[in-house]
Structure 1
Amino acid sequence: MKLWQYIVGGVAVVFIGIQFVPNELPSVEPNNPSDIVLNGLASEEISTMLKTSCYACHSNETVYPWYSYVAPSSWLVAKDVREGREELNFSIWQEYDMMDKLKILDDIAIEVKEGRMPMEIYTLMHPSGKLDDAQRAKIVTWAEETMDIVAEEEG
């Protein structure tokens, strides 16, 4: 046997072996009465953009693609969703206090305007989640205007 056959065999054994390493994907909850979309703060157009470009990591409504169940990509997906929900979870919008909501909306405006969100690794795997300049501008404007609404309603 040639060396490359041992290498390929070894890689295959490792790949199969890592599939048995436990990895819990964050749970999915389709019923979210505290969701920002149900709260009426986002128009249908903004809601669609948020659901397409943000909800995979920033809501309880994550739809896991096939590669989410295959290590090592499953580890990255689980990490990204956990961290995304910790930063912002649109599904629990009503549970945030006013200051948290204002900070979140400010962060959305900055991150989207500067092109940091959605993350490039996400749009690479989900091209439909990529935002063009006009969509970015609409989300930024929405976030800024919604800050005023939140401050008035809860202030």
Structure 2
Amino acid sequence: MNKRIQYRQMENLLKKMNEKIDSQNRKIESQSEILQEFIGLLNAKQREGEDFEKFLRELALWREDVASYLTANEQEEQSHLIFKRLDSIFEEMGVKIHITKENSAFDSKIHEVIDIVETEEEEKHARIAKSIRNGYEYHGKILLKEMVAGYKYTGGD
């Protein structure tokens, strides 16, 4: 293969890589714009004295919807920066995100069971099998309960 062909192939490969990088940068810029809109809306809601907890609840639901969409479309890596920033905003405002680990104790104050997982292990009965949707708490008040799957002991028959 002559050097001119090799050079063109390398040039084409570099062009494709640059296009991919540009596309990723546009997606990140778009996510940043969306986040800036939410920050502006958040500040306006606080100033207007509207039901701030209701707004936070809606923002938490939006976060969960976007996470579900990105996961379903295998775009989790692209969402990392926007969620990192959004989570830091939640933290600054005093919002705690609940993500319970498997086999943790069930707490009806923060958990809502939406699925049952049968088990033959008695010690897992009424414990968390998995977290399905995050929970959100604002200064001790639950905005959204964490949706979980809970274990149910079947007796090992």
Same-fold status (TM-score > 0.5): no
Q: Which of structures 1 and 2 has the bigger CA Rg?
A: 2
Q: When you count helix as a share of all residues, which structure comes out higher?
A: 1
RCO (CA 8 Å, sep 6+): is it higher in 1 or 2? 1
